[in-house]
Structure 1
Amino acid sequence: MCGILIALSRKPLDRAHFDAARDTMIHRGPDAQQSVFLEADTVGLGHTRLSIIDLSNRANQPMQDGNLWVTYNGEIYNFPQLREELELAGCQFKTNSDTEVLLHGYRVWEESLCERLLGMFAFAVYDADTGCALLGRDHFGQKPLYYADLGDVFIAASEIKAIKACAGRGFALRKESVVDAMIQDFVAEPRTWFEDINVVPAGHQMRIERTESGSIRSAISNYWTFTPDANPQPITQGEALEQLGVELREATSSHMLADVEVGSFLSGGIDSTCITTLASELLDTSIQTFSIGFGGNDELPAARQTAARICADHHEDNLGEGDFQYFKDRALAVFDHPFADTSLVPTEHVSRLAARKVKVVLTGDGGDEVFGGYSYGRYLAPRLGPSPLLVPTVSGLRSSANFWWDALLFSALGSERWGRVTKDRIVNSRRLSVRRRSILAPELLQSIDGYDPSWAHRQHSIDALDPFRKAQWIGIKVALASRMLVKVDRASMAHSLETRAPFLSPRLAEFALSLPRPVTNPTPDWYKSLLRQWLDGRIDSSVLNANKRGFDLPKEWSSLDQASLAGGEELLPNCVSAALIRPMGWHRLRRAPRLLWYFTQIERALDTGMFAA
């Protein structure tokens, strides 16, 4: 894993300034930092390297082959096969790195390059002969790739902080992002929290070229064209289980490719247990595993049980409220924008633990999206969704009432008819409520009048799919790339740790997403039915049949103290001054700790000047 930076400018770049921007990402690549400047210094490519494959200096970047240069972040898991194919085409390699495959691959396949890659990646290839660049990002968006087209200069980088430093200017808050965060916990790609900074979407590539006038012209295209078939090909349960085993083993094996030791996160749930168990079978020595708890209702006992069964070299730690408060205060600097998923803290903590021992870990990320676990269960049957807590508030009572009403409807209508009734909920539930209109400032509401925060859900909604598979696909295309993978990348790279997610192998994911729902989940009794059947007998039954817990921390950790909430002082004065919320609007957030945390982060961001006026 690394950090990349590329700039194409009308005027010569200041080399020292460019290098300083590159080094804002030194945590992503502490092993080597280099830049090259081309075209009379109007083009700059920078790289910070975390060496994983071919540890020699020959594999440092930016890397050159004749007129081509590349700066790249990630891993190409099928690079040995691609290298063989390119050597047969006459290409001569100078290193053993996967990076060089991008250079020769671009020369041979040009803009079809991304279609051949299996891995997690964000790269920029620059052609000095044509003055054009190709930027590419992996299928699911595991690796970040932000960009800003500012007229006189085009900048792309792994992190927003590098773009801001390279541009030498601030960027204003995108007002719609405040609403996005309230409705869905994140800002959907390709938008960000900043005006004029966007993201190359997952599964897309961008071509950059100079016009005769010297301006920059860009075009984004979708190279990953897969979508789930509304009428999948028939397959028996036995055939699906057999093929699933093949895909799982191949995905895990390919993700073990490295010239350094590979460890594994082990949360205690079935996803990380599955991947860790498969990985341990591929090693001649004990795999190092890493778990985190928080002194209460966590999954450490299950993680210990699995670690003992596979004879792992197990490491664990406990997260306390002090650790939570410490990283919560650092979150803005790590993410470059407000981020209110409390699981970011244990993810950062377990990454810090693992980074003391290894450079690379496997994770179970993507298991819920690919196999339809946890919250996706609600689209099979109401009781498979997260159960509401009965709390004496209006929202709590409403949530409980909706849950039991759904349960009654499901019993009365049956699964198929209930699914047809509720098929649009994943989209329609994102609409702005009256309650939120009473929190936001009138000026903000007026400036975004007509804005639909569910636009991304509608864009990726496939009406022909059944509700369960429809929810899966929207989750993969929207929330996975925009929230969950952002969290994992930033939290791990803050400690120079590379995370790899075998469940997000394109071939495995496409196989699972192409199966009929009656095969993946034949009854509404349990979610992830196909994966659980395959794991039956391979992992402990107590782990296999346990309810999912995740990284849900005690809610009181993320809440403000009661004295502050009971006081009459304005807790969010910067938000009020910026016309984001009404005066004392935070009063309506007192029983919504997640939203209140979001606004305290926005308050802090405004106070530190993260957003330009």
Structure 2
Amino acid sequence: MCGIAGRLAATPLSPEREGRALALMANRGPDGRGAFHAAAPGGNLTLLHTRLSIVDLDARSDQPFTKDGLTLVYNGEIYNYPELRAELRAAGRSFRTEGDTEVVLEAFRVWGPDALDRFEGMFALALFDAQSGRLTLARDRFGEKPLYWMRDGEGGFLFASEIKVLAALAGRKPSVDRDQLRRYLVNGYKALLSERRTFYTDVADFPAASLAILDRPEDPAPRRYWMLEARPDEGMTAEQALEGARERVHRAIARRLRADVPIAVRLSGGIDSNVIAGVARTVHDHPITCFSIVEDDPRYDETAAIRATLARLDLPNVRIPIPRGNFLERLDDLIGYFDGPPLTISYYLHWLVSEAIHEAGFKVALGGTGADELFTGYYDHYLFWLASMKDAPGFEDRVAGWRETYGRFVRNPELQNPHAFIEAPDRREHIFLGRERFSTFLTEPFDEPHREVPYPGSPIRRRMLNEIFHETVPVMLHDDDLASMRWSVENRAPYLDRDLAEFLFTVPDRHLIQKHLPKILLREAGRGLVDDSILDNPRKQGINAPVTSFVDFTRPDVRERLLEEGPLFDIVNRDRFAELLDHEVTLNSDSKFLFSLVAAKLFLDRHAAWTP
């Protein structure tokens, strides 16, 4: 895990800007830094890199990595690098390192862009070919590793792992996209990355599963090299689905245990992280240490489940109490690193866990990102599944099963009718819940209905693909990366594995929910490894907390800080904000909205004072 950046322009990059960019990348790579300069057909090329050493800790694997006319800067991990190295050696290539960086470079030399199809991992990379003068940019299938680009006002093309680094290379701060902020406040996080927007009008997010080749300073034209598609094998039995999922889950976790440093697991009371811990400890006998946030609110307290796992697996655990003081100061620091507001309050908690992981001396942490989207973990998934099964025998028994299990815990009023998506297949009001009311807080109305990409397949598969590529997974990966890299911790997501994802999308819909429990394939993949009380719990759990757990909004100093004049009140009605601070917040949607208002306030104040 590292930081990368680069510039292609007619004029050379000044030493001052280069030094500033490298300094800002230090958290992403505290173990080494380097720069590469070359004259390219399109002008002057600079490639920058800072290293967080995870595999082959020797300096021989430092970057920029140059060999026989190719130069690579690369952020991420290719988990199947030993197998690829064996293939490349059989093809006549030799190696001077033991890590994955040289494997990536040689894979491009032998297979060209087709090498991307062979990589299993997470990455953002830039590869310069001195012979052709071409610069190749690419990003992993799910977009685990970030890559942003912008123009510098002098005709140059810039790219980097973080927006603050782009600003340093350009020598100017980017402009805030106020429509994106309105979208954040009114529609929430699921609307933010559907079209790969950022909070800045002049910064673009390079798309996942894409590559672009440049030979001059121009806007890249990324082309997609992979897409997940629903291809159900209707002849697959339930037993085949369970066994196929179990095998691939175990293999995906094994791949992400490859490292030359100790590994941590972010353990909550939910299924996702518990399966990771159980498989790592029991199946692969890999030493891990668990880190868990502790919340007193009974709605979010997961202590009992965490204790059950620790007792069963005999694992060390670091418990992290939620600090009650200095919330605004901590959040302001987080926003400064994120270059924008965190997209949900969960990533304030992720930030706290990553800080504890770093302080304990760990560089790698595993988490459960993507499991809900791949295994049907959300409350609306059950209803979309019921809509897919409406004509199958036993439908009313399935509805009764929903009422006895998942249906008991649904708080969203739009999802309390088991026939919701049978009666109105295109209804999506539950996704932007409260948007009409939240819009009334703005100085100008904002009305942007939910839009869904019409992927082929059943209703539930269409919903899951939208979440994976447009709504939830991109958002989680964005904040996963920043919350961990602030503390120089590499975050790995075992469930975002190509083989696992492609298999799951061949499973017929009827096998996705069994015994009236969603996520059944993941539950059973952990059977015998995870306490049954966790695997059989119908209630969805995960790291979360209401914003009122962190700060007392009735305190005069808090109110003064949040209501002082600033650019937020060009967008938000100050009096309405004050009224919200005066009222007790009980609804989950209102808590999320209040957090977004607070984060937007701190972000805009910080941007106004930002000097690149």
Cα distance in 1 between the residues matched to 2:384 and 2:551: 31
Aligned-pair CA distance for 1:522 = 4.0
1:155-197, Cα deviation, whole Å (9 max, x unpaired): 1111111011111111111122023212032521521000110
Q: TM-score, normalised by structure 1?
A: 0.87
1:216 counterpart SS class: coil
Q: What amino acid is aligned across from residue 2 of structure 1 in structure 2? A: C
Deviates more, 1:135-144 or 1:287-296: 287-296
1:503-548, Cα deviation, whole Å (9 max, x unpaired): 111111111122111011146x221122223433332111112323
What does residue 137 of structure 1 align with? Answer: 139
Q: What amino acid is aligned across from residue 324 of structure 2 in structure 1? A: E
Q: 1:331 to 1:18 in 2, by over 3 A?
A: same
1:609 counterpart SS class: helix
What does residue 516 of structure 1 align with? Answer: 508
Cα distance in 2 between the residues matched to 1:287 and 1:435: 46
Cα distance in 1 between the residues matched to 2:19 and 2:449: 37
Tell whether the 8 Å contact from 2:80 to 2:120 is kept in structure 1 after alignment: yes
Aligned-pair CA distance for 1:609 = 2.8
Cα distance in 1 between the residues matched to 2:415 and 2:471: 23
Cα distance in 2 between the residues matched to 1:118 and 1:228: 20
Cα distance in 2 between the residues matched to 1:570 and 1:292: 27
Q: 1:183 to 1:558 in 2, by over 3 A?
A: farther
Q: What amino acid is aligned across from residue 374 of structure 1 in structure 2? A: Y
How many residues end up aligned between the 2 structures?
576
Q: 1:558 to 1:205 in 2, by over 3 A?
A: farther
* Mapping 1:428-439, distance limit 5 Å: 429-430=431-432, 433-439=435-441
Cα distance in 1 between the residues matched to 2:102 and 2:366: 24
Deviates more, 1:155-164 or 1:200-209: 200-209
Aligned-pair CA distance for 1:282 = 4.9
What does residue 270 of structure 2 align with? Answer: 269
Q: What amino acid is aligned across from residue 338 of structure 1 in structure 2? A: P
Q: What amino acid is aligned across from residue 274 of structure 2 in structure 1? A: T
Tell whether the 8 Å contact from 1:7 to 1:153 is kept in structure 2 after alignment: yes
What does residue 379 of structure 1 align with? Answer: 384
Aligned-pair CA distance for 1:432 = 9.1
What does residue 336 of structure 2 align with? Answer: 333
Aligned-pair CA distance for 1:429 = 4.8
Deviates more, 1:248-257 or 1:144-153: 144-153
What does residue 34 of structure 1 align with? Answer: 34
Q: 2:601 aligns with which of 587, 603, 607?
A: 603
What does residue 114 of structure 2 align with? Answer: 112
Task: Confirm whether residue 304 of structure 1 aligns to residue 328 of structure 2.
Answer: no
Gapped runs of 5+ residues in structure 2? 387-401
Gapped runs of 5+ residues in structure 1? 390-398, 411-417, 446-450
Q: What amino acid is aligned across from residue 482 of structure 1 in structure 2? A: P
| Percent of aligned pairs sharing the same letter | 31
Q: 1:29 to 1:453 in 2, by over 3 A?
A: farther
Cα distance in 1 between the residues matched to 2:28 and 2:560: 43
Tell whether the 8 Å contact from 1:521 to 1:527 is kept in structure 2 after alignment: yes
1:369 counterpart SS class: helix
Aligned-pair CA distance for 1:301 = 2.6
* Mapping 1:54-203, distance limit 5 Å: 54-150=56-152, 152-181=155-184, 182-185=186-189, 187-188=192-193, 189-203=195-209
Q: 1:388 to 1:536 in 2, by over 3 A?
A: closer
What does residue 364 of structure 2 align with? Answer: 360
Cα distance in 1 between the residues matched to 2:562 and 2:26: 38
Tell whether the 8 Å contact from 1:4 to 1:46 is kept in structure 2 after alignment: yes
What does residue 20 of structure 1 align with? Answer: 20
Tell whether the 8 Å contact from 1:29 to 1:48 is kept in structure 2 after alignment: yes
What does residue 448 of structure 1 align with? Answer: none
1:51-96, Cα deviation, whole Å (9 max, x unpaired): 0111111000010012211111110011112212222222221211
Cα distance in 2 between the residues matched to 1:612 and 1:260: 36
Q: 2:536 aligns with which of 536, 545, 550?
A: 545
1:105-142, Cα deviation, whole Å (9 max, x unpaired): 22222222222211011111112222221111111111
Tell whether the 8 Å contact from 2:279 to 2:529 is kept in structure 1 after alignment: no
- Compare relative contact order (CA 8 Å, sep 6+) and give the higher one, 1 or 2: 2
Q: What amino acid is aligned across from residue 562 of structure 1 in structure 2? A: T
Tell whether the 8 Å contact from 2:60 to 2:97 is kept in structure 1 after alignment: yes
What does residue 6 of structure 2 align with? Answer: 6
Q: 1:16 to 1:91 in 2, by over 3 A?
A: farther
Cα distance in 1 between the residues matched to 2:485 and 2:519: 30
Tell whether the 8 Å contact from 2:198 to 2:204 is kept in structure 1 after alignment: yes
User: What is the alpha-carbon root mean square deviation over aligned residues?
Assistant: 2.9
Cα distance in 1 between the residues matched to 2:602 and 2:258: 41
Q: 2:454 aligns with which of 454, 461, 484?
A: 461
Tell whether the 8 Å contact from 2:249 to 2:525 is kept in structure 1 after alignment: no
Q: 1:290 to 1:576 in 2, by over 3 A?
A: closer
1:44 counterpart SS class: strand
